[in-house]
Amino acid sequence: MSSAISIFGLGYVGSVTAACFAHLGHRVIGVDVNRVKVEMLESGQSPILEARMDEFVAEGRAAGRLHATTDSRAAIHGSDFSFICVGTPSLRSGKLDLSHVEQVSAEIGAALREKKRRHSVVLRSTVLPGTTESFVLPVIEKASGLRAGVGFAVCYNPEFMREGSAVADFLQPPYTILGTSAREEIEPLRQLYERIPGTTIETTVPVAEMVKYVSNTFHALKVVFANEIGTLCKTLGVDTEMVTSIFTSDTKLNIAPNYLSPGFAFGGSCLPKDMRALTHRAKELDLNLPLLEAIVPSNAEHIERAVEMILQTGKTRIAMLGLSFKAATDDLRESPQVRVVKRLLGEGRRIRIWDRNVALGRLVGSNRQYIEEAIPHIGALLCSTLEDVIGDAEVVVVGTSEVSGDTLRQNLKPEQIVIDFVHLENARRPGGNNSYEGICW
Ligand SMILES: NC(=O)c1ccc[n+]([C@@H]2O[C@H](COP(=O)([O-])OP(=O)(O)OC[C@H]3O[C@@H](n4cnc5c(N)ncnc54)[C@H](O)[C@@H]3O)[C@@H](O)[C@H]2O)c1
């Protein structure tokens, strides 16, 4: 089905969106305050330099499906969808400049005041979570005199194209994300994308806004990580390309979702030690590698957040479920859970600890020496029964994934507060009357 679409902003995102929707058979009118860009599109030239754009613009013009104008009112009246693709540059402080988004939203609102047909407004510009619903929507409501969901619908639809391969990325995106507060309203938008392959994900507006930032942040992080690793390799005289090639070929642990689920701090006998060794060597080599150097302090900060969360409950009796740095091990070396217990003891909290593996390890002797010599005061807090540990507490800290949902539910009293470090799946969370908080979810 062919739709009529107005696209505000004929920069990279807007021009590509306009040309590609025209290519897919829709009628498109591009709007920009910049007359040069409008005239270029109207004369069949692409306003930006991008592969296949000249071809798509010429095709759209020849078919009579692609136009451009500076008249926003006419564009809105002549379309059913308005895509906002204007720039959201940085102000000097780094704060996002929303003035272009505000201007276009007000223009759309003013035009909707006179428009009889229902209209869908789709924000594509990159904006921080909350912007669409708390900034764009009120501007349109005020200018139009309409209520969102009644006279018009608003959706957030992030763009994942990369300059240089923008057309190909538009036509083959990793996924299409439609952020909405009313799923029934986005059927027409879903239809616009029906010829685009890949999964279409419908979610809330703030989640869609945040996914865009998380993606860009991760891409930036990967670039900086690769460059710091490359710098270190080169200075150490190690073959950067060989290291990268072998490292990226591991799709089980390296290029994989592993370690990307928000949870508790890392610990154990390897990661902390190895991070310290690598950054120490970098310092010896006079290298400044801020990203790699930030890893250990960032991890320590996460442990401190956990401590603060427990202290802020104002409760004194704490049950710690899990003491080793991860499930299925009794290794307590550099366990962040041990660090939390030490901090809480220092703050005068009363702690009892349950950890099946540590208790077993202690019985058979594998971890006995470490507990008795390095942390005897913590060893003394270990109890062998989970029920006793939970039964006595005001706050239950889940620091291991080895606790079943049933066990938790059977043993918790309604007034007990549960703090989750390990990101229990929904089915394993306490539910009922218990107050439940995840450390970062
Ligand atoms: N460039 C990318 O690769 C890319 C990718 C994904 C998302 N984004 C995001 O998309 C948004 C647009 O980025 P861009 O690179 O296309 O920006 P851009 O600066 O290239 O283009 C923005 C266009 O908006 C026009 N404009 C400004 N005010 C207007 C108004 N009131 N009415 C009509 N047009 C107006 C400008 O004249 C300009 O042509 C930004 O939020 C950006 O972060 C960009």
Q: What is the pLDDT along the chain (441 residues), one digit of tens a residue?
A: 789 999 999 999 999 999 999 999 999 999 999 999 999 999 999 999 999 999 999 999 999 999 999 999 999 999 999 999 999 999 999 999 999 999 999 999 999 999 989 999 999 999 999 999 999 999 999 999 999 998 899 999 999 999 999 999 999 999 999 999 988 888 999 999 999 999 999 999 999 999 999 999 999 999 999 999 999 999 999 999 999 999 999 999 999 999 999 999 999 999 999 999 999 999 999 999 999 999 999 999 999 999 999 999 999 999 999 999 999 898 898 999 999 999 999 999 999 999 998 887 776 777 788 888 888 999 899 999 999 999 989 999 999 999 988 999 999 999 999 999 999 999 899 888 889 999 999
- Looking at residue 89, what is its pLDDT? 98
41 lines ligand 1 (CB under 6 A): no
Q: Which of 20, 85, 155, 270 is catalytic?
A: 270
- Looking at residue 408, what is its pLDDT? 92
| CA 326 to each of CA 36, 186, 335, 356, 399: distance values in angstroms, whole numbers, following the listed order | 60, 43, 8, 12, 8
Distance 45 CA to ligand 1 centre (A): 18
- Looking at residue 433, what is its pLDDT? 84
Distance 196 CA to ligand 1 centre (A): 22
- Looking at residue 2, what is its pLDDT? 87
- Looking at residue 372, what is its pLDDT? 85
- pTM here is 0.95
- Looking at residue 33, what is its pLDDT? 98
Residue type at 396 in one-letter notation: V
Residue nearest to atom 17 of ligand 1 (CA): 87
- Looking at residue 367, what is its pLDDT? 78
Contact between 415 and 436 (Cβ < 8 Å)? no
- Looking at residue 156, what is its pLDDT? 98
Distance 145 CA to ligand 1 centre (A): 27
- Looking at residue 167, what is its pLDDT? 98
Q: Two tokens at 12?
A: 């990279």
Residue 270 designated active-site: yes
10 lines ligand 1 (CB under 6 A): yes
Supply φ then ψ for residue 21, to 5 degrees.
-65, -40
d(CA 387, CA 182): 44
Residue type at 203 in one-letter notation: T
Output Rg (C-alpha) for the chain, integer angstroms. Answer: 28
- Looking at residue 265, what is its pLDDT? 98
Supply φ then ψ for residue 381, to 5 degrees.
-90, -5
